[in-house]
Structure 1
Amino acid sequence: MKLPEGLAGVIVDQTRISSTKNEILTYAGYPITELKDVPYEEIVFLLWNLRLPTESELVSFRRELVSQMKLPAETVRLMERIAREPQHPMSILRTTVSLLGTTNDNEHDEPPRILAKMLTAVAAIIRIRNDQPIKRSKPDFGVVENFIYLFSGKRPTAEQVKMLNTVMVLHADHEFNASAFTARVVASTQSDYYSCLTTAVCSLKGPLHGGANEQVFKMLETIKQTGQDPLEYVERQLESGQKIMGFGHRVYKHGDPRAAILREIARKISYETGNEAYFEMEEQIRDFMFEKTHLHPNVDYYTAVIYHCFNLDRDTFTTMFAACRTAGWLAHIMEQREEGCLIRPSSEYIGETNRHYHADKEAHLNE
């Protein structure tokens, strides 16, 4: 029996964290459309506890996360060296996560502290690569406000916080995606949190998973810088068999619900920052792609323009995805560890059989 390509549609385990059943994304049973404006900290609490926090719990949880948005001094010293190397930022993040697993009493690190460190590490990588000093979090800022401040160096407006909060909520989790499942496999061995997160980062780096947002903006930049007609460019790519990144989804055949929300954010922020040409180009390509292929934009398509409007370099887009998705990764790691069962699937062998070493060696010698 031939299995579906990429195990598409194959149920490998159960989860209470999130679902994409019937092409509707829900977090612990709540539709994402009802959660898009909920504070990020509340979404993290929901994913980790499978219930909404009380007001006092939310205040306490937010305070705990913000208080931990700092990195060990020894980690910073090493980061300042490796982050300047001509490597992809996701490679630097991969090494940084591994470093965090070897410093500062990491055996006692729990998810709130780990998430806070991850957000701070991503911001620090962005700052170091821009030859800017690393900032320290502000105790009176929320998590998202602090995150923007840490990577930009400026206090964001309330509107900027609201927009990035929604982006982070929409990226927080997505059922058994490649990186979450990778983290769960490692977690099933009872390995530590940082080992699990390192493998998740490695998985997210690939262009078919988290790296797609970078490829979307690379396309837009190429079209703009070369003065090409967007539709002619896309048509040539399709005719040559190239994949147009940011379109189609294995789960959402009738449109990614996250993309619909992100589209409005991309529209708003692009016009507010003088980047409307990129958004208008996306709209042209969106209509053309649906006409030609019946594919809809996915979560990566509009996120690319949004990140650009936050003055982020294209090669850091996937690290932003990692920052947002860490909450979900940690939720899956915790759930898998509680399950206490090693993930060890079987495979169907389809190679050669009835081969014998000595007979084959003798045959080769006689040739």
Structure 2
Amino acid sequence: MTLPKGLAGVVVDQTKISSTKNAILTYAGYRIEDLASAPFEEVVYLLWYGRLPAAEDLHTFTRTLVGHMTLPDETLRLMNEIAKEPQHPMSILRTTVSLLGTTNNVKRDDPPTILGKMLTAIAAIIRIRDGKPLLRAQPDWSVAKNFLYLFSGNTPTDDQAAMFNTVMVLHAEHEFNASTFTARVVASTQSDYYSCLTAAVCALKGPLHGGANERVFNMLETIRAQELAPAEYLKQELAAGHKVMGFGHRIYKNGDPRAKILRGIAEKLADQTGNQDYYDLQATLADFMLKNKHLHPNVDYYTALIYHCLGLDKATFTMLFAACRTAGWLAHILEQQREGCLIRPSSEYVGPTNQHYLENRRHQNDTQQDHIQFG
């Protein structure tokens, strides 16, 4: 029995939500390059319902999502205690998502309600950690503009809202990645939405998945703080066998289409916020990795700089990823629950065989007595 490690390239199920076939990312058949400037709400509608909404439906859907960008008082009271704990923000989010599933009348919570709550909860964690007051969503703004406002406290310009909208769209969905597959496994048991999302957050926290963006910025800070030569730093890391975060992708061997779009946003935001040095450093590192290792930047690489330019603490970067990816997680939870099939794969056992309990136990007892007597 020979299977690739990590199930690389193994098709485990079918989906109508998204595809990375031939290294082309599509949402419900639409290329990501075409959707990059579409309203986040329209993309969410597409992922959940498999079609683009009519203008009137989009307006109603947007108002519905924004209308749910609020949290019950009891949830906020508990969050004010949880978010102040000296834990990693993703650990705080893990507990918060579980909390969302136990406060208020959660049996009536549908995907629009849950997405609105998730976005608001993540913004609230950021604000509470920074000791800043919580804000209210503006009913006439888009979801992306509201979310940016809720965690930053600044009224976004139309240009800033448009760029952040693109960031949210690019992170909304990505086929059977680790966190999405985790959510689908839980959904296959017919468990509730919040249990599925809690499991997805746990998977996203890992540095080989969503946590990679934080480690990308750690690298940039280290190089700048120690005034290292970028090429020498990379040579040392590679020689030591360390993985350089933000480069390479299991699917996109010739470049992540999301990274190509995000690079322009990172460059523009870096210029606007006085972070040009960081962008220039990223460009230098990317050139070295392509020339010497034939590796392209992935989605995490430029996202790290974008989130920094938005004023975020690097420890909260992965929570922003979770905020966007909740749209895709919910799409997959819905699809898996409709499928009604329990995910329960088999494994190939490669351990010892023909073991005999009583015989081995007697042997261990005899050995122990000998050790006591003669040891």
Counterpart-to-counterpart distance in 2, 1:155 and 1:272: 16
For residue 366 of structure 1, give the secondary structure of its aligned residue in structure 2.
helix
Is it true that 1:212 corresponds to 2:227 in the alignment? no
CA distance in 2: counterparts of 1:121 and 1:93, whole angstroms:
8
* Corresponding pairs, count: 367
For 2:315, the equivalent position in structure 1 comes to 315
Percentage identity across paired residues of the two chains:
66
SS in 2 for 1:99: helix
In 2, Cα distance between the equivalents of 1:96 and 1:280? 37
- The aligned residue for residue 228 of structure 1 is 228
Alpha-carbon separation, structure 2, partners of 1:162 and 1:142 = 10
Match of 2:303 in 1: 303
Deviations 1:184-224 (A, max 9, x none): 00000000000000000000000000000000001001111
Q: What amino acid is aligned across from residue 254 of structure 2 in structure 1?
A: H
Q: Which residue does the alignment assign to 2:101?
A: 101
Shift of 1:365: 2.5
Question: Which amino acid in 1 is paired with 2:148?
Answer: I
Residues 53-102 of structure 1 show CA distances to partners (whole Å, capped at 9, x for unaligned) of 00000000000001110011111111111111110000001100000000
Matched residues in 2 for 1:124 and 1:9: separation? 38
Question: Scaled by the length of structure 1, what TM-score is found?
Answer: 0.99
Could you say which residue in structure 2 is the equivalent of 1:324?
324
Match of 1:176 in 2: 176
The AA in structure 2 aligned to 1:350 is V
How far apart, CA to CA, are the structure 1 residues paired with 2:363 and 2:95? Answer: 48
Query: In the TM superposition, what are the counterparts of 1:68-107 in structure 2 within 5 Å?
Result: 68-107=68-107
Question: Which letter maps to 2:278?
Answer: Y
1:78 maps to amino acid: L
Give the whole-Å Cα distance in 2 for the aligned partners of 1:291 and 1:152.
38
Q: Match for residue 356 of structure 1?
A: 356
Q: Residue 237 of structure 1: SS of its match in structure 2?
A: helix
- Partners of 1:111 and 1:152 in 2: CA distance: 25
Whole-angstrom CA distance in 1 between matches of 2:366 and 2:76: 62
Question: How much has 1:153 moved relative to structure 2?
Answer: 1.1
Q: Which amino acid aligns with 1:39?
A: P
**Secondary structure class of the residue paired with 1:93:** helix
For 2:228 and 2:366, how far apart are their aligned partners in 1? 62
1:203 matched to 2:192? The reply is: no
What is the Cα deviation at residue 235 of structure 1?
Answer: 1.2
User: Alignment partner of 2:183: what SS?
Assistant: helix
Q: 2-side partners of 1:85 and 1:255: how far apart?
A: 39
Q: Equivalent residue for 2:346?
A: 346
Partner residue, 1:53: 53
Cα RMSD, aligned residues only: 0.7
Kindly report which structure 2 residues correspond to 1:116-127, keeping only aligned pairs within 5 A, or say none.
116-127=116-127
Q: Which runs of 5+ in 2 are unaligned?
A: 368-375
How far 1:230 moved relative to its partner? 1.5
Q: Which residue of structure 1 aligns with residue 38 of structure 2?
A: 38
Q: Residue 167 of structure 1 corresponds to which residue in structure 2? A: 167
Equivalence for 2:370: none
Q: Aligned to 1:159, what secondary structure does the other structure show? A: helix
For 2:273, the equivalent position in structure 1 comes to 273
Distance 2:231 2:81 in 1: 43
Where 1:244 maps in the other structure, the secondary structure is coil
Question: 1:366 Cα shift?
Answer: 2.9
Kindly provide the amino acid, as one letter, of the partner of residue 345 in structure 1: P
Aligned to 2:371: none
- The CA distance in 2 between the partners of 1:20 and 1:140, in whole Å, is 35
- After TM superposition, give the deviation of residue 154 of structure 1 in Å: 1.5
Alpha-carbon deviation of 1:359? 1.0
Gaps of 5+ in 1: none
* 1:284 matched residue in structure 2: 284
Give the aligned partner of residue 245 of structure 1: 245
**Partner Cα distance (2:109, 2:31) in 1:** 31
In structure 1, what is the equivalent of residue 192 of structure 2? 192
User: 2:233 is aligned with what amino acid?
Assistant: Y
1:363 to partner: Cα distance = 1.9
One-letter amino acid of the counterpart of residue 123, structure 1:
A
Residues of 2 paired with 1:315 and 1:2: CA distance? Answer: 39
Q: TM-score, normalised by structure 2?
A: 0.97
Paired residues for 1:2-21 under 5 Å = 2-21=2-21
User: How far did 1:272 drift?
Assistant: 1.1
C-alpha separation in 2, matches of 1:297 and 1:107:
42
Q: CA deviation at 1:3?
A: 1.1
Distance of 1:145 and 1:34 partners within structure 2: 21
Instruction: Quote the offset at 1:265 in angstroms.
Output: 0.6
Q: Using the alignment, how far apart are the partners of 2:236 and 2:227 within structure 1?
A: 15
Which of the pair has more CA radius of gyration? 2
| Rounded Cα–Cα distance in structure 2 between residues aligned with 1:152 and 1:128 | 12
Structure 2: how far apart are the matches of 1:357 and 1:279? 62
Could you tell me how far 1:141 is from its partner in structure 2?
1.0
